[in-house]
Chains A and B, each alone.
Chain A
Amino acid sequence: MFQKVIGYLALAGLALSGYIIFLWVPTESSQGYVQKIMYIHLPGVWITFVAFFITFLGSIGYLWKRQEKYDILALASAEIGVVFCTIGLVTGSIWGKPTWNTYWTWDARLTTTLILLLIFIGYLLLRKFVDPGEQQARFSAVVGIIGFLDVPLIHQSVSWWRTLHQTSTMFSRKPSSVVDPNIAMTVWISLAAMTLVFIWLLLKRLKIENEQRAFFRQVANMS
């Protein structure tokens, strides 16, 4: 029930953000039409970090409480995180071509996101290669934790290495970063919509994983 409500809310949110992105919000003056990709790019990256943070919390929760539900949460969140991370990187690339005149650059946040993607693809591969069970949950929790702990270090090292990205406009409180209120509102609405999509996907994935495990347990008991 709850999941259905979230699903319809997410759908409505996407429709609303689609409407205001393409029909309502004024086109940004310096970048023009291409800037609209930000309304997908920014929520994508935002969800990525939320998702991997949830994986981190789920991993800690599993090692602490040793309950399967935390492991399932970590798995579900990591899978969705990898999808959104890819979306963030691809949209960023498409946005980068007209504005930075290159599809890819070794900028700090770009590189950090890429490495994060690689770490969590490794995490999912590890889950594939270990047989399901207590050991799988334990091993993946370890990798989920050390992988997430590495992010600040990676970010610090890569930003010393070289950087080009605009500084975070949405979350900085500096007076210089004046954002058009319409654009800011559009960003917030698309963020909210994408977050609803994320919650819906997460609930769905949790349900599938729970049912699948219950099914396998039943099969194992029968034989």
Chain B
Amino acid sequence: MIPSTVTLLAKDLKLDLRSLENFISMLFFGVIILLIFAFALPIEDDSHEKLAPGLYWVVFLLSGILNLNKLFQIEKENGCMDAVLLAPIPRGSIFLGKMLENIIFITAMQVIMIPLFSLFFFEGLMVHFFELLGLSVFTAIGFSSLGTLLGGLTTDVRFKEILLPILLFPLLVPLLLASVILLQSLVGGNGLFAEADWLKLLIGFDLIYLVVSYLVFDIVMEI
């Protein structure tokens, strides 16, 4: 299972790196949302400190959903989905490959977004760069697990661009709450471990949906 996952992951990353279309559009979309918030919200610094933890994850979710919508696009456009499904590999490795691709994408994007976020909106984030990046990876695991499952599910569905967030965002509420509160604690100078319960909830959510999505993906991809 692991070799086939790596092969699929390498294929996707190679294709993405060659064109960079997805990555650049995601990144610019994120920056534009950030600018809209900066214009729409009051300019005082102390209000930004309160708003930053929430906004960071809003930007995260809205730009992350772009990649999920495109996740199975390449396969679909060239009719490769059938070929991938026919290959003698477990369906689970298709899931894992796509999910890992998405996590790598999001993490790479956050590496650029965190400095931009502190530049344009709230300086305090840059101080906690590595903790925040780690937290983003954990949020990305839950986000990508459910997102890959639902992204695969909506590939052939009409109005999938709108249906995916409608299905995905309500399910992500526990994850979002946990991430917001952990980031609040980080910005408040208490560190991630001050909110141990939320950390457990975040990791629990990741594990539950990683396993459930992995198991259910088989059913979604039946032909």
A154:B157 contact, CB within 8 angstroms: no
Asked if residues B219 and A138 are in contact (CB atoms below 8 Å), the reply is: yes
Q: A130-B158, A142-B219, A153-B205 are in contact. List 5 more A-B contacts (CB 8 A).
A: A126-B157, A130-B157, A146-B209, A146-B212, A158-B173
Q: For A157, list chain B residues within 8 Å (CB).
A: 173-174, 177-178, 201
Q: Find out whether the CB atom of B220 lies under 8 angstroms from the CB atom of A138.
A: yes
29 contacts between A and B (CB under 8 A): A119-B167, A119-B170, A121-B166, A122-B167, A126-B163, A126-B167, A129-B163, A130-B158, A138-B222, A139-B153, A143-B150, A143-B153, A143-B167, A145-B216, A146-B146, A146-B171, A146-B212, A146-B216, A149-B208, A149-B212, A150-B170, A150-B174, A153-B201, A153-B204, A153-B205, A154-B173, A158-B173, A160-B197, A160-B198
For B216, what are the chain A residues with a Cβ–Cβ distance below 8 Å? 142, 145-146
Contact A142 B220 (CB under 8 A): yes
- Per the 8 Å Cβ criterion, residues 118-141 of A in contact with B are 118-119, 121-123, 125-126, 129-130, 135, 138-139, 141
Complex interface bits, B190-213 against A, C-beta within 8 A gives 1, otherwise 0: 000000011001001100110011
Q: Contacts of A169 on B, CB cut-off 8 Å? A: none
Q: A129-B158, A153-B208 are in contact. Are A142 and B153 (CB under 8 A)?
A: yes
Complex alpha-carbon distance, A115 and B169, angstroms: 10
Number of interface residues of B (CB under 8 A): 33
Query: Hey, which chain B residues are within 8 Å of A145, CB to CB?
Result: 216
Contact of B159 with A by CB under 8 A: yes
Total A-B pairs, Cβ < 8 A: 81
Query: CB-CB < 8 A to B212: which residues of A?
Result: 146, 149
Interface residues of A in 141-167 (CB under 8 A from B): 141-143, 145-147, 149-150, 153-154, 156-158, 160-161
Which residues of A lie under 8 Å from residue B146 when comparing CB positions? 146
Q: Are A125 and B163 in contact (CB under 8 A)?
A: yes
> Using Cβ atoms and an 8 Å threshold, which residues of chain A touch B198?
160
A6 on the B face (CB < 8 A): no
Taken together as a complex, chains A and B put the C-alpha atoms of A160 and B205 apart, in Å, by 15
For B208, list chain A residues within 8 Å (CB): 149, 153
A63 CB–B CB distance under 8 Å: yes
Asked if A118 and B220 make an inter-chain contact with CB atoms under 8 angstroms apart, the answer reads no
